[in-house]
């Protein structure tokens, strides 16, 4: 039987709708309409005072990483699937109905993706990158994606596609988690990065590039990746010390999305060294000046960044970036769906799309903190967090 949510304020992924009712049928949104147009046989739920919005996206997570562990994951550790199942359930109950997994070593997240898709487990729809390409001894080499030539890179992409990945991830710069790599240093020369993107696109796989340093950001933009992860503008003087306006213009002109991985813990930048905060804000105002599109992300799985905490991260994202609440919400819903290539199935409240929905008390555009306590969540029509 259909379910109609009545007397509800609807934020459809881009703005408030004139309608005040939504009917769900099976896994899909059947209609967005006025309450008096509800189908006669529908089960009706009164949602007075509540706002319905699309389920949220976290565009950068690592399902296999344990946020409570502060060390490089042991490649021989036992199967992490039981913990990953718990993480997926907590995420979807928090309102995260789609997540992009940007790296794992053993393919456990690919198996999890299938078990969620089949309905056996509850969790967000997962888009998985498998083993990221990295240089020899490079960032996250322990995941098994080391490549030392264009030939090896092509072989690795073929391997990942055969395993069924949804996209390709490349480590364009060093990272924080891997000893011996430097976030400021590029890991691949331009011809190699170009060849990686060309090969992935030939296989219809978008490319997400991990980029802290500005040289790597520039190289990734020139190569035409689809999303730039972190985009930290790291230079000789640390985080955000090397913002380059010409590179930001290049990112914008190529339609590349930036996934800034701002977690709840970034509050430390707001409360900490004000000189660093000024550098970060200068980079943000530059990027925003070029109208770069952003997709909300947290890098969940790294130490102290929990998989279900995207809703708590979004107010911090707004405070760091200077974006309005509405812009931040868009980057976590319709904008993310556009950027991740899934707007034909989710990311908005519109007839025919999957019923990936979240109900909150109050108005999230006025106050993003309302997202932290959802009143109800549906994932593909299933009430994973039922309304009391």
**Interface positions with Zn ion (CB under 5 A):** 299
CB of 62 to Zn ion, least distance (A): 6
Residue number, 215 or 299, with CB nearest to Zn ion: 299
Residue 240 tokens, joined:
């955000």
CB of 230 to Zn ion, least distance (A): 8
CB neighbour list of residue 57: distance below 8 Å, 6 or more residues apart: 96, 97, 98, 99, 100, 295, 296, 332, 333, 336, 337, 340, 347
Residue 383 tokens, joined:
């009430």
Q: CA Rg, the chain, in Å?
A: 21
CB of 207 to Zn ion, least distance (A): 15
Residue number, 113 or 212, with CB nearest to Zn ion: 212
Distances (CA, A) of 118 to 121, 245, 356: 8, 45, 16
CB of 161 to Zn ion, least distance (A): 21
The count of C-alpha atoms lying within 13 angstroms of the C-alpha of 84, restricted to the half-sphere facing its C-beta, is: 22
CB of 65 to Zn ion, least distance (A): 8
CA 322 from centre of chain: 19
Secondary structure of residue 31 in the 3-state scheme: strand
CB of 285 to Zn ion, least distance (A): 25
Answer for the pair 170, 193: CB distance below 8 angstroms, yes or no. Answer: yes
Answer for the pair 347, 53: CB distance below 8 angstroms, yes or no. Answer: no
Answer for the pair 121, 164: CB distance below 8 angstroms, yes or no. Answer: no
Residue number, 125 or 212, with CB nearest to Zn ion: 212
Residue number, 13 or 260, with CB nearest to Zn ion: 260
With DSSP H G I counted as helix, E B as strand and the rest as coil, what are the percentages for the chain, rounded to 5?
35, 25, 45
Give the DSSP H or E segment for 246.
Answer: helix 245-253
Residue number, 109 or 299, with CB nearest to Zn ion: 299
CB of 314 to Zn ion, least distance (A): 18
CB of 231 to Zn ion, least distance (A): 13
Residue number, 9 or 106, with CB nearest to Zn ion: 106
Tell me the residue number closest to Zn ion, measured at CB: 299
Report CA torsion sign: 187, 155, 197, 142. Answer: negative
Residue number, 205 or 212, with CB nearest to Zn ion: 212
Residue number, 175 or 335, with CB nearest to Zn ion: 175
């Amino acid at each position: 039987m259909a379910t109609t949510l009545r007397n509800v304020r609807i934020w459809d992924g881009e703005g408030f709708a004139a309608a005040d009712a939504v009917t769900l049928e099976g896994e899909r949104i059947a209609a967005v309409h006025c309450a008096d147009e509800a189908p006669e046989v529908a089960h009706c739920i009164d949602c007075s005072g509540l706002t319905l919005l699309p389920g949220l996206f976290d565009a950068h997570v690592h399902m296999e990483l344990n946020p409570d562990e502060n060390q490089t994951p042991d490649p021989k550790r036992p199967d992490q699937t039981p913990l990953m199942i718990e993480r997926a359930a907590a995420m979807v109950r928090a309102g995260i109905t789609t997540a992009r997994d940007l790296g794992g070593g053993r393919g456990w997240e690919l198996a999890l993706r299938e078990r969620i898709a089949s309905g056996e487990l509850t969790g967000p729809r997962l888009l998985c990158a498998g083993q990221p390409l990295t240089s020899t001894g490079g960032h996250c080499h322990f995941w098994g994606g080391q490549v030392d030539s264009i030939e090896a890179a092509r072989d690795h992409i073929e391997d990942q596609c055969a395993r069924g990945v949804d996209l390709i991830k490349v480590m364009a710069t060093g990272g924080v988690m891997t000893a011996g790599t430097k976030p400021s240093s590029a890991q691949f020369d331009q011809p190699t990065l170009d060849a990686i993107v060309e090969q992935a696109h030939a296989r219809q796989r978008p490319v997400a590039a991990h980029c802290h340093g500005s040289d790597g950001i520039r190289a990734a933009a020139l190569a035409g990746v689809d999303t730039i992860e972190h985009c930290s503008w790291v230079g000789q003087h640390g985080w955000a010390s090397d913002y380059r306006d010409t590179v930001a213009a290049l990112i914008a002109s190529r339609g590349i999305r930036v996934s800034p991985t701002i977690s709840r813990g970034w509050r430390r930048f707001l409360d900490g060294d004000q000189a660093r905060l000024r550098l970060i804000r200068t980079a943000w105002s530059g990027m925003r000046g070029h109208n770069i599109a952003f997709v909300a992300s947290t890098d969940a799985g790294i130490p102290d960044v929990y998989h279900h905490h995207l809703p708590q991260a979004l107010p911090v994202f707004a405070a760091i970036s200077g974006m309005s609440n509405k812009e931040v919400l868009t980057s976590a819903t319709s904008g993310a769906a556009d950027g991740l290539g899934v707007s034909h199935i989710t990311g908005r409240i519109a007839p025919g799309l999957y019923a990936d929905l979240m109900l909150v008390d109050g108005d999230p555009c006025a106050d993003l903190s309302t997202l932290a306590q959802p009143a109800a969540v549906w994932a593909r029509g299933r009430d994973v967090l039922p309304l009391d």
